A and B are shown apart, each in its own frame.
Chain A
Amino acid sequence: MTMETRTQQKGQLLLMDEGVCWQPVPGARALYKGPRLEGLRSGSVGRVAELRERGAIMDFGKKGRWRVPRYFLAPPVRSGEPG
């Protein structure tokens, strides 16, 4: 599955000149790619519980619910998929 088809299913990819900012949608799984915090580390995968203007409330299960800015969210890559 390519990046394009995956994001068509779960969100919209906003391309900038350099770098990519992912647009999450409620219910989608998303990967946290920000700095390590107490209780949440980079690479954690959660579900988008609620969209906010600049990010989302993410449900990380046992790790709790966090406000995560969109910049630090990315679509999760399944094993075997190109990164």
Chain B
Amino acid sequence: MAGASVLPCPARAVWGARVNSPVHYEEAQCKTALNRVAGMGFQWSLNPYRGCVHSCHYCFARRFHGYLNLGAGQDFSSVITVKVNLPEVLRWELSAPTWRRETVALGTATDPYQPIEGKYRLTRRALEALHRYRTPVGVVTKGTMVVRDVDVLADMAAREGCTVCFSVTTLDHDLWQQLEPGTPPPWQRLRAMERLRAAGVNAGVLLAPVVPGITDSLDNLSAVVRAAAQHGARFLGTQTLYLKEGTREHFLDFAQREFPGAIPLYERLYPRAYAPRWYQDRLGQQVAGLKVLYGLGDERPRVDENRPVQLAFP
């Protein structure tokens, strides 16, 4: 580690979550920037940080903190590794003659726009490098700081291609604070998405993960889909909670504390890391149906044109 600093967590200060332990930021030199990915919709991933102050209790990346001999619980959101040389290493990798300009995903294991990005600007510098080498990117974030980089993202969208996915699991204030205590409010994320869409960026919503028994009610799902449509989301995707070792223990401890009534459901649904197929199918059908009802697609739900359109909600 090249250096370390202890700062109060800005996200927690700003959004008023209940956890207020200090965050240790450790500067590190990385050997590689791009990670080869198999079996996904993208070929490479890129993570400027390890750990995430957003502190989402369901985050599947919690278990990766174990690789650093750190815990998947509090350590994940309070010990953040900053790969300070990542933009330079990335440029070197992209300049290789063998680089085939395959899609690079940012934010697969940590949020690239968590608050410390304001200081280090690693994500922005990585995007500039990817743009220079005409490499398409996909970004997944809950961070509203992404609007800072709207200029680069818009240029990328116009040339090599760029997709920004805003993760929104709920619009309920209490659920948001319980599940994602260090994140910007979901309605701010939707406004950020709106800004990006206005700039011509292909931006949409990931209603993911859907947390069984907690965020899978029709009211919650329809509120997110409706808001996504109202804010001009280009697309909306969903998937269910994934509970692998590391994340699993942390999440079930959290659920036992905050949602004890949901525990029997988890015992039934999660003998393994994935929810059963029937649950995923039912969720998929429900969300697909909501997308039609709220006009998030090619077709409008109301067939007769002379009547008021369905998207004007009370």
Contacts and interface: CB of A to CB of B under 8 A. Distances in A.
Contacts, number: 75
Given A71-B285, A71-B286, A37 B293 contact: yes
B304 A65 contact: yes
Interface stretch (A3-11, A13-21, A23-31, A74-82): A13-21
Contact of B293 (A16, A18, A35, A70): A35
B310 A37 contact: yes
A17 B288 contact: no
Contact-residue bracket for chain B = 20 to 34
A43 interface: no
B314 A72 contact: no
Given A38-B313, A69-B289, A18 B303 contact: no
Main DSSP-derived SS at the A contact region: mixed
Contacts of A64: 302-304, 307
Q: Which of A21, A40, A69 has the most CB of B within 10 A?
A: A69
Interface stretch (B127-135, B237-245, B273-281): B273-281
A17 B276 CA distance: 10
B282 interface: yes
B290 interface: yes
B240 to A, nearest CB: 14
Nearest to B225: A35
Contacts of A70: 285, 289
B290 A66 contact: no
Contacts of B303: 57, 64-67
Interface of B: 218-219, 222, 226, 276, 278-279, 281-282, 285-286, 288-290, 292-293, 299-304, 307-308, 310, 312-314
Interface of A: 16-19, 21, 34-35, 37-40, 54-55, 57, 64-72
